[in-house]
Structure 1
Amino acid sequence: MEKFSVVTQSQVNVRVTSSANSFGTEKRFPKDLTIADFKNKLELLTGSLSGNMKLEVYDRDNKLVCKLDNDNALLGSYPIDDGMRIHVIDPTIKVGEFEDLSKVEKFEISEEDYAKKTGLTEFKPGYWVGVHYDEPVGKNNGKVGGKQYFECPDKYGGFVRPENVEVGDFPEEGLDFRKEQLLSFIKMMSAIGVFLGISSIIIGIVVFVYLGGGKYPVTTATGIWYGISPILFGIMGLGAALTKDERNQMNMLNGHYIMSIVIVSMGYAMASAIQGLVSCALGEEKCGTNAEIQTALHGILTGIIFCGYVLAIASMGLHLRNKNTLHPDWKYRRGCCGSQTCE
C-alpha cells in the first residue's frame, strides 16, 4: 500500500453534494481518513453505497480540482481546502429518487379512530386531541379518570389542545450523536461533583477533629450537609450517562438538573465557610488553639464550595442550551400545555 502524510491542518470543512439529490450538507472531516473510510461516512449523508461512489472535488468557483480515486490514499493528500465541494456520483441511483415523497409510506388513521382521539372529554372542558407519542414521554395510556379514550402503551399517551397540534409529513429522527457527547460531559461533571462532595464531608469532619477547644462546629455541619448535594448531583449524572433505559435516563437527567439548582441556591454554605475562614485568619478564640490549621481547612472548604457553584452553573447552562436533546419531555409538555395542565 502506498504511504501518504498530512502536512496541512488536521481537518477540513467541505460541502457534500450528490447526484442522487438536490441538496447539500456542510460537514467537517479529519484529513487522516482514507478515502475508503471517507466514503463510508458519506453513506449516511447521501444514501449511496461506498462501493458505488465516485468522488469529485470542486473549488469555490465550481471548477473541478481533482477526483478522489485512490481508496488507500488519505483525504489530506489531495488539494482540498475549507469551502470546497465534494460531489458524490452514484450511477445506480436516479436523480431525486430519495426526494420522491410519493414512495414514502404514510401513517393513516380511520375515521373511527380519529373520532376516538378528537373531541370533548370529561376531565377538562373544551376539545382535546389524544396523542400517541413515539417515545415514552407521555403521562398516560389514553385513559384518564377511569375512562379509556384511546389505547396505547403506558407513558406513550397524552392530550393536547387542537391549536397545539401541527399536521404534516415529518421525517423520522435519526441517531443523535450530539446526545452522546453531552452525556460524556455530564458524566465528567458528575464525577467531579462526587469528588467535591466527598471532599467537603471529609473537611467537615477534620474541622471538628481539630477544634482545639474552639467553638466553631458550624463549619463541620456545613461541610457535611453541603457535601451531600454534589454527591447526589454526581449520582444522577452518572446514572443518566450509564443507563440504557430511556425513561430512567430522562428521570436521571431531570434529577441532575434539579440538583444543579439546589447547589446554586445553597448560599448559606458559602457564607458559613467564608465566615469561618475570616474568623480563624484573625485568630478569634472560637477557632481554638489550632487557628492556622482551621484557617487552612476553612480555605479548602471555601474553594470546594466555590468549585461546586461553578460546576452547577455550568451544568444548568448545559441542560438549558440543549433542552431539546436532553429533555424532550420538556418540549412536549411546553408545546402541548402552554398555560394548561397536561393530562
Structure 2
Amino acid sequence: MDSEVTVITNPIVNVRLTSTISSFESKEDLIELCHLLQLGVSASCMDLELFSVTDQFLQKLDDNEALLGSFAVDDDCRIHVIDRSGGQLGEFTDVSKVEKFELPDDAYDKRTDSVRSFMKKQRVGRHNEGEVAKKKAEVAAREEEEKAAAEAISVGSRCQVQVNGQPTKVALWAKLVRGSHI
C-alpha cells in the first residue's frame, strides 16, 4: 500500500486580504499577496488568520516552516493580517495627517501651467460663457415648463409620483406652501 498523498490544487489561488490597519479589502493572488505583506509591516510583527469563503475562522497561519499549500486555502478565502507593531486602523487613509500644498486663487490664476489656465485657453466648462449661458437658459426653460404644468393641475386631482428606487404611487395633488408639511 502506498502511503504517499497527492494533493491537486490550482497553481494560483485568489484570496481576499484584510488588515487591522486598513479598512480596505483587496483581492490578490498569492504572488501579489507576498509582495503586499512585505510592504509596511515586518513579518515578525504580523499574525495571519485564515477565513473561509463564508468568512468563518478556519485557523491561524502560524507555522513559518509550512508552505501555504499545506493550509486549507481555496479561491476567495480571506487572509486577515493582524499588525502587532502598533499601527492604528485608518493610519494610512487619514488625509488630515498629510501636509498639503495650498496656493491662493490669485496666485493660481497667474500660473500658465495649470489646469485652470488650460481650461481658460480652451474655453472649457465654466470658462465658456456661451455654453454657461445656454445651460442657464435651458434650466430656466425647464423650470418654467414644470411650473406651468404644476399650475395646470387642480388641487385634488390624482397624479403619479415617481421616485428613483421606489415603486410608482398614485396620490392626490396638493398645493405645497413653503414651510408646510402634509
Normalising by the smaller structure, the TM-score range is 0.5 to 0.7
Structure having the higher strand fraction is 2
* SS of corresponding position for 1:26: strand
* SS of corresponding position for 1:60: coil
Q: Distance in 2 between matches of 1:59 and 1:131?
A: 50
User: Is structure 2 residue 37 aligned with structure 1 residue 42?
Assistant: yes
Q: Distance in 2 between matches of 1:95 and 1:161?
A: 39
Q: 1:8 maps to what in 2?
A: 9
Summarize deviations over 1:283-302 as a string: whole Å, max 9, x none. xxxxxxxxxxxxxxxxxxxx
Q: 1:67 maps to what in 2?
A: 60
Q: Which runs of 5+ in 1 are unaligned?
A: 118-128, 133-157, 166-343
Q: Distance in 2 between matches of 1:72 and 1:41?
A: 20
**Larger RCO, structure (CA 8 Å, separation 6 or more):** 2
* CA distance 1:19–1:114, shift in 2 (3 Å): same
Q: 1:77 maps to what in 2?
A: 70
Does structure 1 conserve the Cα–Cα contact (< 8 Å) formed by 2:108 and 2:114? no
Instruction: Tell me the amino acid that sits aligned with residue 108 of structure 1.
Output: E
Summarize deviations over 1:159-218 as a string: whole Å, max 9, x none. 5215469xxxxxxxxxxxxxxxxxxxxxxxxxxxxxxxxxxxxxxxxxxxxxxxxxxxxx
1:75 positional shift? 1.2
Which residues in structure 2 correspond to 1:235-250 (within 5 Å)?
none
Q: Which runs of 5+ in 2 are unaligned?
A: 1-5, 127-182
Instruction: Tell me the amino acid that sits aligned with residue 36 of structure 2.
Output: K
User: Is structure 2 residue 156 aligned with structure 1 residue 161?
Assistant: no
Cα RMSD for the two superposed structures: 3.0
Percent of aligned pairs with the same amino acid: 38
Which residues in structure 2 correspond to 1:212-223 (within 5 Å)?
none
1:80 positional shift? 0.3
Does structure 2 conserve the Cα–Cα contact (< 8 Å) formed by 1:59 and 1:85? yes
Q: 1:269 maps to what in 2?
A: none
1:111 positional shift? 4.5
Taking structure 1 as the reference length, the TM-score comes to 0.30
Q: 1:307 maps to what in 2?
A: none
Which residues in structure 2 correspond to 1:238-317 (within 5 Å)?
none
1:113 positional shift? 2.6
* SS of corresponding position for 1:99: coil
Q: 1:340 maps to what in 2?
A: none
User: Is structure 2 residue 114 aligned with structure 1 residue 131?
Assistant: yes
Q: Distance in 2 between matches of 1:84 and 1:164?
A: 46
Q: Distance in 2 between matches of 1:76 and 1:6?
A: 9
Q: Distance in 1 between matches of 2:106 and 2:117?
A: 18
Summarize deviations over 1:301-327 as a string: whole Å, max 9, x none. xxxxxxxxxxxxxxxxxxxxxxxxxxx
Q: Distance in 2 between matches of 1:11 and 1:106?
A: 41
Q: Distance in 1 between matches of 2:125 and 2:77?
A: 42
Q: Distance in 2 between matches of 1:6 and 1:96?
A: 40
1:6 positional shift? 6.5
1:85 positional shift? 0.6
Q: Distance in 2 between matches of 1:75 and 1:6?
A: 13
Does structure 1 conserve the Cα–Cα contact (< 8 Å) formed by 2:18 and 2:78? yes
Instruction: Tell me the amino acid that sits aligned with residue 98 of structure 2.
Output: V
1:23 positional shift? 1.1
1:71 positional shift? 2.1
Q: Distance in 2 between matches of 1:8 and 1:94?
A: 36
* SS of corresponding position for 2:23: coil
1:41 positional shift? 3.4
Q: How many residues align?
A: 117
Q: 1:58 maps to what in 2?
A: 51
1:103 positional shift? 0.4
* CA distance 1:58–1:110, shift in 2 (3 Å): same
Q: Distance in 2 between matches of 1:41 and 1:6?
A: 27
Does structure 2 conserve the Cα–Cα contact (< 8 Å) formed by 1:6 and 1:76? no
1:13 positional shift? 0.3
Q: 2:97 maps to what in 1?
A: 103
Does structure 1 conserve the Cα–Cα contact (< 8 Å) formed by 2:109 and 2:117? no
User: Is structure 2 residue 64 aligned with structure 1 residue 89?
Assistant: no
* SS of corresponding position for 1:66: strand
Does structure 2 conserve the Cα–Cα contact (< 8 Å) formed by 1:6 and 1:77? no
